[in-house]
């Protein structure tokens, strides 16, 4: 699998600390990726839309020089009413030669869809079919893949249903590996279910911190957390050899997954009991001792430089680990 670097591994701490390299710019992100021998970058299209034709050509030359692929990200909380944002990102992707656009479908996190309720969430997914068909038609015109991410909101069964309803080979899944646990699934089971639709992978790991109502998931270097990466990479190589992944070290605040509360499951479709047990067992077995601090330096409000060091240490350790196991 080709490995890249996602901008959401970082925060504004780099700019705050006065660092020369800002990974929130695609040029800065490219610099970090090239230095570490990575093969792709992933980030927001925002800065690209403001570039002149000459500046855009210079950026494309940078990608070509280092043989970097690029993934553009966009979020869509209201796609049932307005798909324009996704279509605009597809246009930008076409201009810079990006082959994948990753998107989301809601603003829900931590597996909590209670704001919608069972019927409301089901209706939300159904209302996405028509606009995604429209976007997929544009993606087909440009030969670009759209990957819907499991952004701690949608489970693998629902992703497969949505892809099947849209029925386009240009619409599929961006699997965020760590986020499978946020909807009560193991990463491996999630991966095999979405494999026929897989376009792109977010390589994310978490340490696990138990609470009375569930578990907190805290960002960590790849290989330092709960995910069985050798098994995942073997599955991807077998089931979706064309897909590539980007290191995404995740949010600067821990995510609280309250899956030990009965109501947490109320918006999800029925699933085999053993799958829920497997996910809880995986979290339980990986649980850190209670004295281990679940907070990140960002949550502890440490200095900008301390936050930069935390993010960069995780990046270096992640790259080292991935090179060792692949």
Instruction: Domain of residue 143: give its range.
Output: 3-325
For residue 211, the surrounding DSSP H or E stretch is: strand 206-211
Q: Residue 45 belongs to a domain with what CATH number?
A: 3.20.20.150
| pTM score | 0.96
The confidence score (pLDDT) of residue 153 equals 97
Contact 269, 158 (CB under 8 A): yes
| Higher-pLDDT residue of 217, 53 | 217
In whole numbers, what is the pLDDT of the chain averaged over residues? 96
pLDDT range class, residue 46, cuts 50, 70, 90 = confident
pLDDT range class, residue 254, cuts 50, 70, 90 = very high
What SS3 string covers 116-183?
A: CHHHHHHHHHHHHHHHHHHHHHHHHHHCCEEEEECCCCCCHHHHHHHHHHHCCCCEEEEEECHHHHHH
CA distance 135 to 206: 33
CA distance 64 to 66: 5
Express each pLDDT in 100-149 by its tens digit.
Answer: 999 999 999 999 999 999 999 999 999 999 999 999 999 999 999 999 99
Total domains in the fold of the chain: 1
pLDDT range class, residue 75, cuts 50, 70, 90 = confident
- A 10 A CB-CB count for 167 gives 11
């Amino acid at each position: 699998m080709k490995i890249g670097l996602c901008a959401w591994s970082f925060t504004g701490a780099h700019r705050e600390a006065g660092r020369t390299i800002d990974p929130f710019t695609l040029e800065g992100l490219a610099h970090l990726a090239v230095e570490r021998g990575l093969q792709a970058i992933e980030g927001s299209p925002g800065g690209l839309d403001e570039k002149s034709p000459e500046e855009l050509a210079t950026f494309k030359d940078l990608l070509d020089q280092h043989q970097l692929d690029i993934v553009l990200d966009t979020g869509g909380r209201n796609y049932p009413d307005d798909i324009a944002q996704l279509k605009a990102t597809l246009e930008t992707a076409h201009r810079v030669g990006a082959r994948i656009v990753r998107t989301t479908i809601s603003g829900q996190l931590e597996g909590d869809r209670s704001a919608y309720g069972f019927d409301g969430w089901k209706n939300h997914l159904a209302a996405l079919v028509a606009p995604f068909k429209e976007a997929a038609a544009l993606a087909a015109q440009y030969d670009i893949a759209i990957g819907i991410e499991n952004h701690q909101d949608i489970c693998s069964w629902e992703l497969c249903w949505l892809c099947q309803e849209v029925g386009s080979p240009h619409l599929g899944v961006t699997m965020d590996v760590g986020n499978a646990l946020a909807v009560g699934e193991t990463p491996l089971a999630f991966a095999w279910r979405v494999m026929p639709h897989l376009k792109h992978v977010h390589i994310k790991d978490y340490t696990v911190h138990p609470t009375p109502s569930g578990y907190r998931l805290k960002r960590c270097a790849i290989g330092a957390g709960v995910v069985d990466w050798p098994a995942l990479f073997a599955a991807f190589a077998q089931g979706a050899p064309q897909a590539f992944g980007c290191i995404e070290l995740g949010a600067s605040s821990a995510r609280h997954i309250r899956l030990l509360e009965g109501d947490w499951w109320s918006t999800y479709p029925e699933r085999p009991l053993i799958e829920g047990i497997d996910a809880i067992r995986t979290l339980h077995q990986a649980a850190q001792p209670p004295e281990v601090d679940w907070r990140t330096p960002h949550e502890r409000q440490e200095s900008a430089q301390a936050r930069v060091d935390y993010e960069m240490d995780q990046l270096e350790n992640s790259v080292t680990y991935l090179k060792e196991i692949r």
